[in-house]
Structure 1
């Protein structure tokens, strides 16, 4: 998996230029076998193609932008620790914890040892992540630059990164400790002297390994010899990507993990382009097929309605208004049967006859001094409304069965009132 490492300018440097995104940044594209495929210095827009190709992008944040705190944290889960961190570090910050991203380092040995907490300004980190995401970054990590330097057991290590007239100084003091400082020399020609003086002021006693660009090694060696002629505790070395890569792999603090909803891995939609296109085509085909089937069924329904209307018109040519041919045909047939002396199933005579037969079959076996009787009977809206006397009670279930055998239905329209209709 190819990894692109980019050393970014500090927020201070970015605020002092009109277009910080145009600042040249050191970068290296590293293959899976740790081979550096490409390296150099380029602005982020010029690295768009490299960012797209790389499977992982590692942003090395300027040491001055990341504050490392050391706190004694009570034992708690990762989720609870993320919630508690703002309250734990509030007294040590000069800004609102809500405006910062905080990530805790691993549990130390022993477990109650102070833990390292990295803090960075949320707005600046969001700008950086959105910028590289806009260039097609697939997976992004953001690491403190000071923790990616070589760790010297008995001393400190430092790196300078020039960005135009300004210089970012990163210092690693211990395994989980380091800091940074943006420098703006008054005289660019004497920048090496200013850097060495600031470095010796921050680290006054122990030996220091200072990494500088290859073309600046001589100037910094001369500055060290001039400032520390009797105690050469600063060793000037040529900067290279080998110790950066090794340090980036050894650190466990990834500030992207503290973005609370911003994932380090973004979806590479280019991989899904072909499946999405195929799924869209299948969906369009299915929609087209459904539309064709709906049109066919609609056409058949229209033809059936036209045929029914034509049949009704042929049977009753004098009828000019045809709204529902089937219903109108049923009405005509019922009227014809009535005119011919044939009772309709929902006529009073048919309903009363069927009900009488069912009533007789249910009540003929009734025992007791009082026989079941009917209080009222009424024919209304092609249904027979019957109200039996309350005593003795007539078994409604048996009555329903008897009526069903005679193609009649029974429903209770009101308490104690039966409604008998012709069964459909």
Structure 2
């Protein structure tokens, strides 16, 4: 499959989820977005059809360990593995699931030391997420901890920001999810000399003895970076009792000839209808382009997604529902001035609260100062402006502005 659907799950089903559809051949984003919670996974059911589906788990919920073995890894040692690491665990063996990666060996002073890489997670928590995905007909072919997909170089750690936290990879098999306030403390404790970061941040400066490598040319959405690294990792948490069962498509020899004959007949029948279908497709394409042109005319600053145009129109209507009165129009007239005077200030969504006579505008700009200028212009027009939190989203600043008439 040339396209991959990636969903980054949360610590629980009430958390926000990130998703991305990535083209492996074109090396570009097909679509991306966020879900407020697991109940919205229904919106991704159709997107998983005919695509590889990879689920990512938060690094904080998966413990990666390198386990030293008494001999070269074998089936017998695999069976004994839970008891080898039992003393290092703070929970009952029945409560955890242990997945294995590739074995390794190190030679020092003519002595060979054997080991195996393992991932440990709570079995009930894991099964709850698998059931949740199955409820929405989502069957992942691969599940991995998110931070394991960070780029890695020997003797260098790597980090990226996601949802006001940092995902960090300090070795090829050591990852963490760190609160922003604890990032410097964690990096200092790991004693890494060099940190590659894929998110712009002044927070990383000031750690004594730490060399920072800003990978500006690779700054991107975390899930895009993860998608590019998938080909470098064969590890999969879906193993043992959770292994994906391969479907068998074996045809018995006795049925082979009739099946081929039926296939030929079907192809001929479809071929006769092909020209008519082609004509209908042409008519649909023309009609669809007309709809897109009208949408662009009505919302010149909006980004058009042709495959989601119907949903975009419905969303626009919902946003404007109940807001056709003079209050809405007056506020929109004031906002038009902002869009004319302020460059690089683009709206993403707009909602009108009729009861409060308030417009809630979510927009993106090139910097924080742009939001400040917008607020100043609106206040000079006698409006009451409330500015929400501003977040750094790659090369843009994203935030929300609430505008209403002064009472």
TM-score computed with the length of structure 1 as normaliser = 0.49
1:99 to 95, 102, 111: 95
Residue 234 of structure 1: how far off its partner (Å):
6.0
Residue 266 of structure 1: how far off its partner (Å):
8.7
Return the index of the structure with the highest Cα Rg.
Answer: 1
The answer to whether residue 63 in structure 2 is matched with residue 67 in structure 1 is yes
Change in Cα spacing, 1:179 to 1:141, as seen in structure 2 (3 Å) is same
| TM alignment of 1:172-211, pairs within 5 A | 172-175=169-172, 177-183=173-179, 191=180, 194-211=181-198
Q: In 1, Cα distance between the equivalents of 2:192 and 2:68? A: 28
Q: In 1, Cα distance between the equivalents of 2:35 and 2:214? A: 28
| TM alignment of 1:144-155, pairs within 5 A | 144-155=145-156
SS in 2 for 1:154: coil
> Which structure exhibits the higher relative contact order, with contacts defined as CA atoms closer than 8 Å and separated by 6 or more residues?
1
| TM alignment of 1:104-183, pairs within 5 A | 104-108=100-104, 112-162=113-163, 167-175=164-172, 177-183=173-179
Q: In 2, Cα distance between the equivalents of 1:252 and 1:81? A: 21
How many residue pairs end up in the alignment? 234
Aligned counterpart, 2:228: 246
Residue 207 of structure 1: how far off its partner (Å):
1.2
Q: In 2, Cα distance between the equivalents of 1:169 and 1:224? A: 11
Q: In 1, Cα distance between the equivalents of 2:22 and 2:197? A: 24
Q: In 1, Cα distance between the equivalents of 2:237 and 2:23? A: 23
Change in Cα spacing, 1:128 to 1:228, as seen in structure 2 (3 Å) is same
Q: Which segments of 5 or more consecutive residues in structure 2 lack a partner in the other structure? A: 107-111, 248-407
Q: In 1, Cα distance between the equivalents of 2:215 and 2:183? A: 10
Residue 230 of structure 1: how far off its partner (Å):
8.7
Q: In 2, Cα distance between the equivalents of 1:149 and 1:231? A: 19
Q: In 2, Cα distance between the equivalents of 1:96 and 1:147? A: 25
| TM alignment of 1:53-64, pairs within 5 A | 53-54=47-48, 55-64=51-60
Aligned counterpart, 2:16: 24
Residue 117 of structure 1: how far off its partner (Å):
0.8
2:39 to 37, 42, 45: 45
Change in Cα spacing, 1:136 to 1:266, as seen in structure 2 (3 Å) is farther
Q: In 1, Cα distance between the equivalents of 2:189 and 2:213? A: 13
Report Cα offsets for 1:192-249 as digits up to 9, x if no partner.
xx2542343333341112233xxxx3xx22x334x34996536375343443123333
Is 1:138–1:265's contact at 8 Å kept on the other side of the alignment? no
Deviating more after overlay: 239-248 vs 105-114: 105-114
Q: Which segments of 5 or more consecutive residues in structure 1 lack a partner in the other structure? A: 15-19, 184-190, 268-424
Residue 90 of structure 1: how far off its partner (Å):
0.6
Q: In 2, Cα distance between the equivalents of 1:132 and 1:266? A: 18
- Cα RMSD of the aligned pairs, angstroms, is 3.0
SS in 1 for 2:143: strand
The answer to whether residue 199 in structure 2 is matched with residue 235 in structure 1 is no
Residue 105 of structure 1: how far off its partner (Å):
1.1
Is 2:159–2:197's contact at 8 Å kept on the other side of the alignment? yes
Residue 152 of structure 1: how far off its partner (Å):
2.1
Change in Cα spacing, 1:76 to 1:150, as seen in structure 2 (3 Å) is closer
Q: In 2, Cα distance between the equivalents of 1:132 and 1:56? A: 14
| TM alignment of 1:23-422, pairs within 5 A | 23-33=15-25, 34-43=27-36, 44-54=38-48, 55-73=51-69, 74-78=71-75, 80-108=76-104, 112-162=113-163, 167-175=164-172, 177-183=173-179, 191=180, 194-212=181-199, 217=200, 220-221=201-202, 223-225=203-205, 227-228=206-207, 233=212, 235=214, 238-240=219-221, 241-258=223-240, 260=241, 262-265=242-245
Is 1:102–1:117's contact at 8 Å kept on the other side of the alignment? yes
